[in-house]
Amino acid sequence: MQAMQTAATERYAKCIEVSKRVRWDIDRDVIRGRSFDASKKFLPDGLSKVDTLEFLGRDEKRLVSQIQGRTYSNMFGLVERYIGAKVLEISREHWMGDQTALEALVRFTDEELKHQELFRRLEAMFGPEMPAGYSFMPKPNDVAGAVLSKSTWAVLALTCHIELFTLVHYRQSIEPDAELSELWKDVFLFHMKEESQHAILDELEWQRENAKLTPEQRDAAVSDLIDLVAAVDGILQVQASADTDYFLRVCGRVFDKAQVNQIKDSMLRAYRWQYITSGVQDERFQKVLGGMITETQMKRIGAALAPIVS
């Protein structure tokens, strides 16, 4: 037990060390007086899946990538509201205990507050670059209230999944795409640098929480996680529909019914890939989750995900 505690303290300490080293400032390091280059894409093809819409021209595909890129930025600002609150809440368990763990979680919360400010700044910057009429539907406090009503185990599972897909998206899709707006790309480079530590801390806190649960409590927490994923999917359906309508209003031409349906489908498929599938299929996430739950519980999650990932 003592050895395990020491190993955990070392991991928290490492997160603090890296957090101090990579720490960045919104204006000085990220924005640097720049604006988004609207002649370039925001979200890379690997995430936007826009290539499946063969009837769209180059400019139209770029517009889809910009709409999705704006939503992508807003989605992070959205989830960071509940993540910051949750991390602050669980930090309580370290108040009189491991001060290294406490410091790591305080830095984590501080970084998420900064990220929310960054994403609010970006939303204000997207406005003048893009046609009027975009709206981001979910409200951060409503979503945070719903998420935080679930068990800590499930909330940490969802959070770990989000912070891991942030890393995967940057490394696999954003970094290799040479045609993206430089500012947009930098935002997610800097974001990822701090998210790397968050993913480690999520894992540590999730495992600590897992160790406290009885099998019955864990089974209920699995149900909570399934509910949370369904709630995320509900948000994606609403936003995919809003973003499709916005695209159709501002793209400058009329599509036939079959094409409209294809755009709609592709938008939802892209969002499900971005915010659910790419995270749950991540090897690191699978390994941590698989180490905590039974095969039956894993099957239960798989069945709930089936309609979303297909």
Footprint on this chain of Fe ion (rule: CB under 5 A): 115, 163, 195, 198
- Strands (E) in the chain, as ranges, are none
**Smaller CB separation from Fe ion, 109 or 297:** 109
State how far the Cα of 267 lies from the Cα of 127, in Å rounded to an integer: 21
**Smaller CB separation from Fe ion, 173 or 244:** 173
Q: Residue 81 has which token pair?
A: 């509201």
Please report how close the Cβ of residue 79 comes to Fe ion at its closest, in angstroms: 8
Residue 103 burial by CB count (10 A; 0-12/13-18/19+): exposed, middle or buried? middle
**Smaller CB separation from Fe ion, 162 or 270:** 162
Please report how close the Cβ of residue 246 comes to Fe ion at its closest, in angstroms: 25
Please report how close the Cβ of residue 62 comes to Fe ion at its closest, in angstroms: 26
**Smaller CB separation from Fe ion, 107 or 272:** 107
Please report how close the Cβ of residue 118 comes to Fe ion at its closest, in angstroms: 8
Please report how close the Cβ of residue 42 comes to Fe ion at its closest, in angstroms: 18
Q: How many CB atoms lie within 10 A of CB 282?
A: 19
Cα dist from 237 to 42, 133, 191, 258, 261, whole Å: 21, 18, 26, 19, 14
Please report how close the Cβ of residue 207 comes to Fe ion at its closest, in angstroms: 18
State how far the Cα of 272 lies from the Cα of 266, in Å rounded to an integer: 10
Which one, of 215, 305, 248, lies nearest residue 60 by Cα? 248
- Cβ-proximal residues to 18 (8 Å cutoff; 6+ apart), any chain: 196, 197
Scanning the structure block, which residue is given the tokens 């031409």? 253
**Smaller CB separation from Fe ion, 195 or 209:** 195
**Smaller CB separation from Fe ion, 288 or 293:** 288
State how far the Cα of 89 lies from the Cα of 151, in Å rounded to an integer: 12
